[in-house]
Structure 1
Amino acid sequence: MIFSLIRFSMRTPYVVFSVMSLLLASFFNIAQAKSSSNLLELPAVDSDLANKSVLMAITPTNDAILAVGERGHIIKWQNNNNWQQQQSPVSVAITDVTILSDGSKIAVGHDGVILKVASDSTAWRTVFTGKEITSLTIEQLKKQQEILQQLLLKTQDEDELEALTYQLDDLAFAIKDNQIELKSGPNKPLLSVTRTSNDILFASGAYGILLSSKDTGETWKLVSNQLDNPDSFHLNAVIATSDDQLYIVGENGTGFHSTDVGQTWSVMALPYSGSLFGIIANTVNVLPPSIGDNIATDDNNATDDNNPTNSTQLVAFGLQGNILISLDGGGHWQHKKLPSSTSLLGGNFSKQGKVYLVGHGGLIVSFDPENPSSLNIKKHPSGAAFSSVLVKDNALILAGQFGISQWPLKEEE
């Protein structure tokens, strides 16, 4: 297949195309399988090489690492000699995964698929597909159509009449396109999934798709219309912070922020207009500047002004080595660019607050977000494209083009 790591940067009819794509020998096998059967109904094939296949996202569990990737592969991994493939009901690429507070897990992927598994099971089940996305989209478009038709009947202004007529024409075309898609089958991928502290879920994807679930992923609602995204730019990543702030980044420098668990969203003014493929967050305690000079000797004299406050550090990354850094939860941003034009696809914070980013060509970048000028740039000897990274036991766990690998960390890294 074409290895895209499921990150969009261009308008494409299907997710297996990307400017970062690498051609793998299995492409023709996948294409043939796609034409002969519905991959949403074809369970993933058990493979002794699943841990070496393209893996797109990893997340830690209590005793292992959960990895998801191409061909519907879902893997519980301790090391490359100790891993187990779990039962996946689909053969489409799985792009991201998250774990709920009760231990159940949610994964998202191509063709709008959403999978779920209980904490005590390894047999995943399908709870949602792109067919539902298309149906929900048609439903929303028809509601908009009804509203505009009512306005058209009430208005007498010629300019308003003309504008409403154009909008209704656009809606009619959009409804027709989605009705065609409903017959031909889903083709819009989900690219990212996250949860809040009380297990409200959000999944984002291509063409501006945003879904939410308030019942631990059993049912989903289309909430794309809550975003100011009239061009339906791809939403490549959605994250929730420890204090339930929500952030989305995507195509064309798109960025959104919610402070009320997704009820409303504001547009982030980002200093970069290219594609962003991911965003990571770290909440830190910040001491007031005067705390060292104004220490209360009596508890009754202490003030709230002297108490540490939480601050959210954000790092967004993407096309051609562009990095955006905020130390105040997205209020202000600093734009950094790598010396090379290598794209960055995944990232994470260490427990010590250090940033690790990974990307094409084995690229591994690390830095202190408060001192981003001191970038440490390394290259993995495999030269593989990496899409996800975890920091564990003085090593990086890397997932990407050739499965999972480990990179020992030195003190200076």
Structure 2
Amino acid sequence: MKRLCNWSVGLCLAGCLTAPLLAAPVVLDTPALQNVRAERSAILGLARAGERLVAVGERGTVLLSDDAGRSWRQAKVPVSVSLTAVQFVDAQRGWATGHLGVVLHSEDGGETWHKQLDGIQAARLALAAAESSGDQRLLDEARRLVQDGPDKPFLDLYFSDARRGFVVGAYNLILHTQDGGLSWQPWMSRLDNPSGLHLYAIRAQGENLFIAGERGLLLRSTDAGNSFQALASPYEGSFFGLLAGRGGELLAFGLRGNAWLSQDSGEHWRALPSPIQSSFVAGLALDDGRLLLASQ
């Protein structure tokens, strides 16, 4: 586990918004290489699948541990794009997000994965939805998505159960599924984010859903994700993550060691003292109620 503890989500934030290589679409259909040194890869996301640990990272790496991180083995993955986040709703069913708009799904605890979505498909879905909406702004944005190609990453995900979930990413990109990822609906028009800011994190706190993003963006849904409204943000810098505490706390963290706590569903925030000035890029809510943050 020691090697994997050195991972940093900051690696994702630094690299995933750069222009894609000309051959980038090839990696959407190229399985991740099996590597005897895979556990030395940069790891960007970690989740539990029952008693198993599942780690995801660069070049499609997925690592599994059944002994609390003492040893790791590599899973089979159908793409070789970097993977940014992972979540399991039980010991078997999980999803991972990645660069080039990739969403992967596993039904066997992470042993094998199949691709449910990529940026090409996401752009086509956005264009179809915009054409039927009659909204010219949405139509212009969707056309740009198609023209740009699959260059935009998904950066986080949240599934409330095995059927309902969201994936969020760069430039206000968000899609929703109600059938476990068999089909996806563009959700951009339901967010109060007219500047198209990046969406870095999505979490549930009680009955509400929250999204944190670029330039202090904080969004809240009080209707099970049907719509998201902007909250008054206490900070103008980017938030890279959210943590939901067991006592109803919500912690938003990000640039320059900033961490802000709300105990009333995002209505009010107070800054938490931080001993560092480097950015917080990852966090973990422990079973005993403590919240841990990791910096770059």
TM over 0.5: yes
Aligned residues: 287
Query: What are the Cα deviations for residues 30-89 of structure 1, in whole angstroms up to 9, with x where unaligned?
Result: 96xx63871111100011111111000101222221100000011112356521111000
Partner of 2:85: 96
Query: What are the Cα deviations for residues 100-141 of structure 1, in whole angstroms up to 9, with x where unaligned?
Result: 247211111101101111136612101111112111222233
CA distance in 2, matches of 1:36, 1:56: 20
**Post-superposition, which runs of at least 4 consecutive aligned residues in structure 1 deviate over 4 A?**
170-173
CA distance in 2, matches of 1:206, 1:76: 28
Residue 334 (1) aligns with residue 257 (2):
no
Residue 315 (1) aligns with residue 251 (2):
yes
Contact 1:196 1:261 in 2 (8 A): no
Residue 55 (1) aligns with residue 15 (2):
no
Residue 6 (1) aligns with residue 12 (2):
yes
**How has the CA–CA distance of structure 1 residues 58 and 171 changed in structure 2, closer, same or farther, with 3 Å as cutoff?**
closer
Residue 349 (1) aligns with residue 278 (2):
no
Partner of 1:151: none
**TM-score under structure 1 length normalisation:** 0.64
Larger CA deviation: 257-266 vs 170-179: 170-179
**TM-score under structure 2 length normalisation:** 0.88
- Residue 280 of structure 1 and its aligned partner are, at CA, apart by 0.5
Contact 1:101 1:199 in 2 (8 A): no
| Aligned pair partner of 1:178 in 145, 149, 163 | 145
Aligned runs of 1:2-401 on 2, under 5 Å? 4-7=10-13, 15-17=16-18, 35=23, 38-77=26-65, 78=67, 81-101=70-90, 103-119=92-108, 122-144=111-133, 146=134, 174=141, 176-181=143-148, 185-197=149-161, 199-241=163-205, 243-284=206-247, 312-336=248-272, 338-360=274-296
Query: What are the Cα deviations for residues 220-273 of structure 1, in whole angstroms up to 9, with x where unaligned?
Result: 1111110111111000001123x3421100001111111221112222212001
Identity %: 30
Query: What are the Cα deviations for residues 131-163 of structure 1, in whole angstroms up to 9, with x where unaligned?
Result: 12111222233345x35xxxxxxxxxxxxxxxx
State the AA in 1 paired with 2:115: T
Backbone CA RMSD of aligned residues? 2.5
Equivalent position SS for 1:193: strand
CA distance in 1, matches of 2:46, 2:31: 21
CA distance in 2, matches of 1:110, 1:120: 22
